[in-house]
Amino acid sequence: MTAQTPLVEFRFDPDPESGFDAAFIAIEVTRLLREGQMTVVGEFVDSLELADAAALLEELAEGDDLDVMRMLPLHDQAEIIGYLRPRAQVDLATRIARRDLAKLMTAMSHDERADLFKQLDEEAQDAILPALTKAEREDLRRLASYEEWTVGSVMTSDYATLAPELTAAQAIEALRTQALDAETIYTAYIVDEARNLLGVVSLKDIVTARPRQRVADLMDTEPVWVRADDEQEDAARLVSRYDLLALPVLDNNDRLVGIVTADDAMDVSEEEVTEDFHKGSTVGPLETSVAESTIMMLYKARIVWLVLLVFGNIFSGAGIAYFEATIAAHLSLLFFLPLLIASGGNAGTQSATLMVRALATGDVRPADFGRLLGREFIIALALGLTMAAAVSAIGIWRGGPEIALVVATAMIVIVLAGAILGMCLPFVFNKLGRDPAAAAGPLVASLADVLGVLTYFTIARALLDL
Assess whether pLDDT exceeds 90 at residue 399.
no
Helices (H) and strands (E) in the chain, counts: 22, 6
Percent of the chain surpassing pLDDT 90: 28
What are the angstrom distances between the C-alpha of 126 and each of 97, 105, 116, 123? 14, 14, 14, 5
Q: Taking Cα atoms as reference points, which of 249, 69, 19 lies closest to residue 146?
A: 249
Higher pLDDT, 436 or 69: 69
Chain-centroid distance, C-alpha 451: 33
* pLDDT attached to residue 167: 94
Residues 6 or more apart whose Cβ sits within 8 Å of residue 312 = 446, 447, 450
pLDDT in tens, 163-172: 999 999 999 9
How many angstroms separate the CA atoms of 234 and 225, rounded? Answer: 10
Q: What is the arithmetic mean of pLDDT over 13-35? A: 74
Same fold yes or no, 4-148 and 161-280: no
Residues 6 or more apart whose Cβ sits within 8 Å of residue 179 = 160, 185
pLDDT in tens, 340-391: 888 888 888 888 888 888 887 778 888 888 888 999 999 999 999 999 998 8
295-463 classified as CATH 3.40.50.1950 = no
Q: Are 441 and 282 in contact (CB under 8 A)?
A: yes
Q: What is the arithmetic mean of pLDDT over 282-300? A: 66
* pLDDT attached to residue 8: 44
Least confident piece of the model among 18-22, 180-184, 277-281: 277-281
Q: Taking Cα atoms as reference points, which of 173, 137, 176, 143 lies closest to residue 157?
A: 143
Q: Are 79 and 113 in contact (CB under 8 A)?
A: no
Assess whether pLDDT exceeds 60 at residue 396.
yes
Q: Collapsing DSSP states into helix, strand and coil, what is residue 198?
A: strand
* pLDDT attached to residue 10: 41
Q: Are 255 and 278 in contact (CB under 8 A)?
A: no
Q: Collapsing DSSP states into helix, strand and coil, what is residue 187?
A: strand
Question: CB 161: neighbour CB atoms within 10 A?
Answer: 15
* pLDDT attached to residue 277: 63
* pLDDT attached to residue 2: 40
Q: What is the arithmetic mean of pLDDT over 140-162? A: 88
* pLDDT attached to residue 350: 86
Q: What is the CATH number of domain 161-280?
A: 3.10.580.10
* pLDDT attached to residue 402: 86
* pLDDT attached to residue 7: 46
Q: What is the arithmetic mean of pLDDT over 244-248? A: 92
* pLDDT attached to residue 293: 65
How many angstroms separate the CA atoms of 346 and 418, rounded? Answer: 8
* pLDDT attached to residue 102: 86
Q: Give the model's confidence band at 266: pLDDT under 50 very low, under 70 low, under 90 confident, else very high.
A: confident
Residue 134 backbone dihedrals phi, psi, to 5 degrees: -60, -45
In degrees to the nearest 10, what's the CA dihedral of 459, 461, 464, 465? -120
* pLDDT attached to residue 288: 64
Tally of residues, the chain: 466
4-148 is classed in which CATH architecture? Alpha Horseshoe (1.25)
How many angstroms separate the CA atoms of 96 and 394, rounded? Answer: 70
* pLDDT attached to residue 281: 58
Q: What is the arithmetic mean of pLDDT over 150-175? A: 92
* pLDDT attached to residue 285: 61
- Nearest 5°: the CA angle 84, 85, 86 is 115
Across the chain, mean pLDDT equals 83
Q: Give the model's confidence band at 18: pLDDT under 50 very low, under 70 low, under 90 confident, else very high.
A: very low
The residues with which 226 forms a beta bridge, in sequence order, are 249
pLDDT in tens, 99-143: 888 888 888 888 888 888 888 888 888 888 887 888 888 888 888
Assess whether pLDDT exceeds 50 at residue 53.
yes
Assess whether pLDDT exceeds 70 at residue 70.
yes
How many angstroms separate the CA atoms of 36 and 97, rounded? Answer: 24
Domain edges within the chain: 4-148, 161-280, 295-463
pLDDT in tens, 192-220: 988 999 999 999 999 999 999 999 999 99
pLDDT in tens, 172-193: 999 999 988 888 889 999 999 8
* pLDDT attached to residue 19: 57
Q: Taking Cα atoms as reference points, which of 292, 295, 275 lies closest to residue 284?
A: 275
* pLDDT attached to residue 202: 93
Residues 6 or more apart whose Cβ sits within 8 Å of residue 376 = 351, 419, 420, 423
* pLDDT attached to residue 171: 93
